[in-house]
Amino acid sequence: MGMGAMGKRVLAKLQERGLNPQQLSCVVPAHEAAPVAAQSFGIEVFRDLPSLLSWHPTLAVECAGHAAVDETVVPLLEHGVDAILVSIGALSSAPLFEKINRAMKAGCSHLTLVSGAIGGIDALHAARMGGLEAVRYIGRKPPRAWEGSPAEDQFDLRAIDKPTVIFEGTAGESARLFPKNANVTAAVALAGVGFDKTTVTMMADPSIEKNVHEVEATGAFGRLLIRLENNPLPDNPRTSWLAAMSIEDAVIRRLEHSI
């Protein structure tokens, strides 16, 4: 689901591993034109859920944004189709979170959340077993990476000449306000102290070319510091290349497990 920069990378990687076009498809809403990329990959395009289900998919990979989680991922899970979720910021909605849990129970299906552009999620998840006192995320991206986000309405991104705070608040607020930029904050929140207790600072920094992600956590275990400096995806500067790789890794792990 979704044929943007990440979706195309996933398709390319799957074809590199020997999957033929007949084993792959994409979902495009009826009001949107069929993506050119689908033709170049030679895969089938579905316009609605019934048509897709008649194809008998076994795994759905969501790369289409928050709206697709409720509209497409939930009903697929209800019909027994496992899914890999990229737009995990959508889980900041408690009603949707519960809806997904009910769908998995109804369909005996499984949902995999990718770590995206951040690392150390396993350590953060383990640390909460002893009690976490505080978790803070700081994200820095070049000003151009904030184009197409609410930051454009508040700042002249081209005029920013020093590190500038774009957002400060909770992980839940950042995931809702910056859905295309803040999936990392959602991953940190889900692994740690939750959306309402995870503090977030996001910045536009003209002195950097990479997407920088930092996590600091303290608790009974001690202190955790994580810093990643990720190259942006060539076709989408808002997204770290590592985020696309995390999807590829999740899909390949699933395929190897199936074998």
Per DSSP, the residues of the chain read: ---SHHHHHHHHHHHHTT--GGG-EEE--TTSPPPHHHHHHT-EEE-SHHHHHHT--SEEEE-S-HHHIIIIIHHHHHTT-EEEES-GGGGGSHHHHHHHHHHHHHHT--EEE--TT---HHHHHHHTTS-EEEEEEEEEE-GGGGTTSTHHHH--GGG--S-EEEEEEEHHHHHHH-TTT-HHHHHHHHHTT-TTT-EEEEEE-TT-SSEEEEEEEEETTEEEEEEEEEPEETTEEEEEHHHHHHHHHHHHHHHHHH-
For residues 143 and 174, state if they share a domain: yes
Please indicate, yes or no, if residue 253 is contained in any of the structural domains. Answer: no
For residues 81 and 153, state if they share a domain: no
Please indicate, yes or no, if residue 58 is contained in any of the structural domains. Answer: yes
For residues 165 and 88, state if they share a domain: no
For residues 198 and 141, state if they share a domain: yes
With a threshold of 0.85, does the pTM exceed it?
yes
What pLDDT, on the 0 to 100 scale, is given for residue 12?
A: 85
| 213 is annotated as an active-site residue | yes
What pLDDT, on the 0 to 100 scale, is given for residue 258?
A: 62
Last residue of one domain, picked from the residues 97, 113, 129 = 113
Domain count, the chain: 2
For residues 105 and 28, state if they share a domain: yes
Please indicate, yes or no, if residue 33 is contained in any of the structural domains. Answer: yes
What pLDDT, on the 0 to 100 scale, is given for residue 259?
A: 47
For residues 37 and 145, state if they share a domain: no
Please indicate, yes or no, if residue 252 is contained in any of the structural domains. Answer: no
Catalytic residue selected from 56, 79, 110, 213: 213
Please indicate, yes or no, if residue 164 is contained in any of the structural domains. Answer: yes
User: Which range marks the domain in which residue 98 is found?
Assistant: 5-113
For residues 21 and 109, state if they share a domain: yes
For residues 59 and 163, state if they share a domain: no
Residue 231's domain is classified under what CATH number? 3.30.360.10
Please indicate, yes or no, if residue 259 is contained in any of the structural domains. Answer: no
Below-50 pLDDT ranges, the chain? 259
What pLDDT, on the 0 to 100 scale, is given for residue 6?
A: 85
What pLDDT, on the 0 to 100 scale, is given for residue 123?
A: 93
What pLDDT, on the 0 to 100 scale, is given for residue 255?
A: 81
Please indicate, yes or no, if residue 256 is contained in any of the structural domains. Answer: no
For residues 144 and 96, state if they share a domain: no
What pLDDT, on the 0 to 100 scale, is given for residue 50?
A: 92
Last residue of one domain, picked from the residues 113, 133, 161 = 113
Please indicate, yes or no, if residue 93 is contained in any of the structural domains. Answer: yes
Residue 92's domain is classified under what CATH number? 3.40.50.720
How distant is the alpha carbon of residue 166 from its chain centre? 20
For residues 81 and 13, state if they share a domain: yes
For residues 125 and 211, state if they share a domain: yes
For residues 35 and 91, state if they share a domain: yes
What pLDDT, on the 0 to 100 scale, is given for residue 195?
A: 94
For the stretch 52-79, pLDDT in tens is: 999 999 999 998 888 889 999 999 999 9
